[in-house]
Amino acid sequence: MALEEKQLDSLSREVIEAERTCKSITNFTDRFPEISIPEAYAIQLKLVQTRVKNGEVIVGRKIGLCAKANQEIFGIDEPIYGHIFDSMVIAEGDPIPMSRLLCPVIEGEICFVLKDDLKGPGVTTAKVLAATAGVMPAIEIADSRFKERRRKAPDPISENSGAAMVVLGGQLTPVANIDLRLVGMVLEKDGEVIATGAGAAVLGNPAQSVASLANKLAGYGMSLCSGEFIISGSLTAAVPAEAGACFRATFDRLGSVSVRFVS
């Protein structure tokens, strides 16, 4: 049974309240087993509209589930997408209290900063690179507002694809003469290497990830705008955040970015 407009609006407000209060809610796929991907994005869009109406500003976008293995777990065949608001951007060096989050994980990602608009359909990797002012190191802190581990795509999509916080590094590097597929990343926890990855882990090329986002947004009458940033997807598996831990992601030629969690 298709969800009614009032239900979609109510569910979007549940997500907003869960994030505000740090109190988890019952998975939507448990309550509505037939919920569809389009309905999940409708919930996400209502969430976005409410937050913008309340004065928040969209400053970036996020892309998740870029790895085919993760897509298979969630029963989809494409990445998922979300929106980043100004309130989600954390200055590097500012400690993040675990009390502000429910079940946070961290991911090292290549962040694209746009100098030109990107409007689908028909956006290609070449168009993304031409529209990019430069790339930056980024750490995304993703979170889940649901009680149970998410295993069906409508759950993460409906909660803005887990968007919670993002920390950007201080170095903007032009993309000319850099093959982003070959950019390596070392992820450390308290000075110890815990994971390594390369740009090719993100749909074969992080720029392709951004292109797919621009084309997807076109179906909702939206586009990527000059000045926005896009965190293009994790180069490694997500790592659980821990109080007292410091994480650093170092990217070949792009610099590094770090984040510290406190109780």
Quote the CA–CA distance of 227 and 134 in Å, as a whole number: 11
pLDDT at 1: 53
Residue 72: per-residue pLDDT: 87
Model confidence pLDDT, tens digit, residues 42-96: 999 999 999 999 999 999 999 999 888 788 888 899 999 999 999 999 999 999 9
Strands 58-64 vs 229-234: parallel, antiparallel or unpaired: parallel
Q: What is the pLDDT of residues 215-257, one digit of tens each?
A: 999 988 999 999 999 999 999 999 999 999 999 999 999 999 9
Q: Give the predicted TM-score (pTM) of the model.
A: 0.95
Of the chain, the percentage scoring pLDDT greater than 70 comes to 100
Kindly list the domain boundaries of the chain, sorted by start residue. Answer: 5-262
How many angstroms separate the CA atoms of 216 and 235, rounded? 21
Helix-then-strand count for the chain, H and E: 7, 13
Q: Report helix, strand or coil for 175.
A: coil
Return d(Cα 4, Cα 263) in angstroms, integer.
41
For domain 5-262, is the CATH number 3.90.850.10? yes
137-194 residue pLDDT tens: 999 999 999 999 888 999 999 999 999 999 999 999 999 999 999 999 999 999 999 9
Per-residue confidence (pLDDT) for residue 149, from 0 to 100:
87
**In the 8-state DSSP scheme, what is residue 173?**
B
The answer to whether residues 219 and 213 touch, using CB atoms and an 8 Å cutoff, is no
